[in-house]
A and B are shown apart, each in its own frame.
Chain A
Amino acid sequence: DIVMTQSPDSLAVSLGERATINCKSSQSVLSSSNNKNFLAWYQQKPGQPPKLLISWASTRESGVPDRFSGSGSRTDFTLTISSLQAEDVAVYYCQQYYSTLYTFGQGTKLEIK
């Protein structure tokens, strides 16, 4: 199975500042057939199901604010929130869908400093 490891486990950032969450996969999730990284990011707020933010490592889902961006390739990925808003407090998860046994990272809890 592909193991997904996020860092840090928790993060406190001031409003308006940049937040960066990292995700590392135990093997490459870059497909040679379409040159895409099979990596998604989700946001989960308390008491709610997860919400898809980004697919293919960097493609923002419709309606997701452009302060959210994804980057990286092969085994190393980053979710960046350029200017933290109060409503961004949540747990963020990465997930690989390269392997038929999809796996999630352990989650990163983002709070306001």
Chain B
Amino acid sequence: EVQLVESGGGLVQPGGSLRLSCAASGFTFSNFAMNWVRQAPGKGLEWLSYIRSSGTTIYYADSVRGRFTISRDNAKNSLYLQMNSLRAEDTAVYYCVRESGSGSYSQYWGQGTLVTVSS
């Protein structure tokens, strides 16, 4: 069974930093591209970042480019999101998402971790 478990969320002050982690199990992590998607309270879904299975190709949404860094450790079956210069508008539930092996759609989602940016 595919499992994605996010951690690292919490309360942080504006301008601060936070590192999210996603522990993957139930599949060969190194074979799949991964994404981060967030959802602000009461709002829709926003795709944030993509990383290829090998880690060699990375994309970001304009809203986080230059502030957030996606990375992965295939030996540890883990995905990360380093978030710097956090703003109030970054307050959201952050989801770790695994792509399908046959297309770039989001096949499996974690339960999410809440990040609150507030003073």
Which residue of B is nearest A91, CB measured? B44
Task: Identify which of residues 42-67 in chain B touch chain A, using a CB-to-CB cut-off of 8 Å.
Answer: 44-47, 50, 59, 61-62
Contact A40:B105 (CB < 8 A) given known A49-B111, A100-B50, A101-B47: yes
Contact A55:B105 (CB < 8 A) given known A49-B111, A107-B45: yes
Report the bound CA distance from A97 to B97 in whole Å. Answer: 14
Which residue of A is nearest B59, CB measured? A100
Which residue of A is nearest B109, CB measured? A49
Report the bound CA distance from A41 to B116 in whole Å. Answer: 28
Report the bound CA distance from A16 to B119 in whole Å. Answer: 48
Residue A89 interfacial (CB < 8 Å): no
Task: Identify which of residues 12-50 in chain B touch chain A, using a CB-to-CB cut-off of 8 Å.
Answer: 35, 44-47, 50
Q: Nearest Cβ in chain B — how far from A61, in angstroms?
A: 8
Q: Nearest Cβ in chain B — how far from A12, in angstroms?
A: 19
Residue A103 interfacial (CB < 8 Å): yes
Quick one: which of B45, B61, B62, B95 has the most chain A CB within 10 A? B45
Q: Kindly list chain A residues whose C-beta atoms are within 8 Å of the C-beta of B110.
A: 49
Q: Do residues A102 and B35 form an inter-chain contact, with CB atoms below 8 A?
A: yes
Residue B85 interfacial (CB < 8 Å): no
Q: Give which listed residue, B46, B59, B95, B106, contacts A52 with CB less than 8 A.
A: B106
Which residue of B is nearest A52, CB measured? B107
Task: Identify which of residues 48-101 in chain A touch chain B, using a CB-to-CB cut-off of 8 Å.
Answer: 49-52, 55-56, 61, 91, 93, 95, 97, 100-101
8 shortest interchain CB distances as A-B pairs: A49-B109, A97-B104, A40-B105, A102-B47, A107-B44, A104-B45, A55-B105, A100-B59
Could you name 5 residue pairs across A and B whose Cβ atoms are closer than 8 Å? A40-B105, A50-B45, A52-B107, A52-B108, A55-B105
